[in-house]
Amino acid sequence: MQAGIPDTTPAMNVNRLCGSGAQAIVSAVQALMLRDADFALAGGAENMSRSPYIVPDQRWGAKMGDIRTLDMMLGALNCPFGTGHMGVTAENVAAEHDISRAAQDAFALESQNRAAAAIEAGYFDSQITPVDVKVKRDMVPFLRDEHPKATTAEGLAGLRPVFQKDGSVTAGNASGINDGAAAIVLATATAAEKSGLKPRARVLGYAHAGVRPEVMGIGPIPAVENLMAKTDLTISDFDVIESNEAFAAQALAVNKGLGIDPAKVNPNGGAIALGHPVGATGCIITIKALYELERIGGGIGLITMCIGGGQGIAIAIETL
C-alpha cells in the first residue's frame, strides 16, 4: 500500500524458508499463467536483526521455576525434522561429498574477492535502491551491502569450526545473518504490450525437488535437473548461474553434482560475501542474474537455492 498499490489488490505471504523469495516469483508466474492477474509484484523481505525472543510459557502465566526464552531467528536456521542447525547439514554434505576445509575456504575467499571487485566496478549500484537509515542522530544513505569484508586465506584458515568440534564449516565459509529486501514486477506478454512496457526478460520455467533433510544443501541438484527436463535446457545453456551460497560445502557439492563451470556461478560473489537475508535472497539473486546477463550482452540465466528441511528450487530466465 505504501508503494501506491490500490488496497483492492489481493496479496499473500509465502513461506518456503530460504526459497521464499524465489517461490514468490514462481507463485506470481503461476497466477499470470492461470490468468488470475495481468501484472504481479513478487519479492521478499527479511529482518533477521529484529527477530524476537519469545517466552512460550507466559501464555498461561509463569509458575514456580525457570522459564524458557526462545530465539525465533533460529526457527529458520534449525531443521524442523530434528537434524539440527543448518550448519550441521553442511557438515553432513562436506562429509558425504568429500569436500575439504581447504576447498571451502578457497571458495569463500573467491566469493569475497568477486563481490569486492563487483562493488568496486559499480555493478550493484543500479540494482540497489538507496534507503536512508538512522545511525545515532544522523540519517545515512544505505548504498552498499554491509556484509562483504576484507578477507585473506590466512584469516579464513584461522577460524574455528562452529557446528562440530572437528568440523570444517566456519563463520568464514558460511553465509551471513542479514537484513534485506527485493522485488520485481512480472506481467503477461499481452499486458506488457498493451501498457507500452518492454520486458527485460522472460521466465522459461521453474522446478522444485525434495532431498533428505540432513543434507538439505544438495537440494538444487535435483531441482535443476527437473528444470532442465521441463525446459529441454542443458547446464551448458546457462550463461549466468546464481546459486545461493548457504555454505561453501553445499555450494561446492551443487557445482560438482551438476557439472557447472565455476566461472559462470555467482560471477559477482554470492551469499558468503554478500549475505543471506533468508526471505529475500531468492528475489535478490534473480535480480543479480538479470543484471549480469544484461551486462554481458544477454542470454539465459539459472537461479537456484537449497531450502531448509530438504528441498531445492530453480528458475530459468532469458533476456529479451
Residue 238 has pLDDT above 70, yes or no: yes
Report whether 107 contacts 251 (CB < 8 A): yes
Give pLDDT, residue 212: 95
Q: For residues 278 and 178, what is the distance between their CA atoms, to the nearest angstrom?
A: 8
Domain assignment present for 69: no
314, amino acid identity: A
CATH of the domain at 190: 3.40.47.10
Domain assignment present for 209: yes
Reading the block at residue 38, the C-alpha cell is: 495481468
Give pLDDT, residue 1: 67
Give pLDDT, residue 59: 83
Q: Pick the catalytic residue: 147, 208, 283, 306? A: 306
Q: For residues 226 and 216, what is the distance between their CA atoms, to the nearest angstrom?
A: 16
Q: For residues 25 and 43, what is the distance between their CA atoms, to the nearest angstrom?
A: 7
Residue 160 phi, psi dihedral angles, 5° rounding: -85, 150
Domain assignment present for 132: yes
Domain assignment present for 253: yes
Could you tell me the residue range of the domain that residue 265 belongs to?
17-54+75-319
Domain assignment present for 60: no
Give pLDDT, residue 82: 73
Q: Pick the catalytic residue: 18, 147, 208, 283? A: 18
Total of domains in the chain = 1
Domain assignment present for 222: yes
Per the prediction, the chain carries an average pLDDT of 95
% of the chain residues with pLDDT over 70 = 100
Report pLDDT digits (tens) over 39-98. 999 999 999 999 999 988 888 887 888 888 888 888 778 877 777 889 999 999 999 999
Helices (H), the chain: 20-33, 86-96, 101-121, 153-157, 189-194, 220-231, 248-258, 271-274, 281-295
The closest alpha carbon to 131, from 183, 184, 185, 180, belongs to: 180
Mean pLDDT on 107-136: 95
Active site residue 276: yes
Reading the block at residue 298, the C-alpha cell is: 544477454
> Any residues with CB less than 8 A from the CB of 80 and at least 6 apart, and which?
308, 309
Residue 138 has pLDDT above 90, yes or no: yes
Domain assignment present for 280: yes
| Cross-strand bridge partners of residue 202 | 318
Question: SS3 of 259, please?
Answer: coil
Mean pLDDT on 246-271: 97
% of the chain residues with pLDDT over 90 = 83
Report pLDDT digits (tens) over 176-218. 899 999 999 999 999 999 999 999 999 999 999 999 999 999 9
The residue behind cell 573467491 is 110
Reading the block at residue 98, the C-alpha cell is: 568429500
Q: Pick the catalytic residue: 147, 208, 276, 283? A: 276
Q: For residues 85 and 78, what is the distance between their CA atoms, to the nearest angstrom?
A: 4
Domain assignment present for 11: no
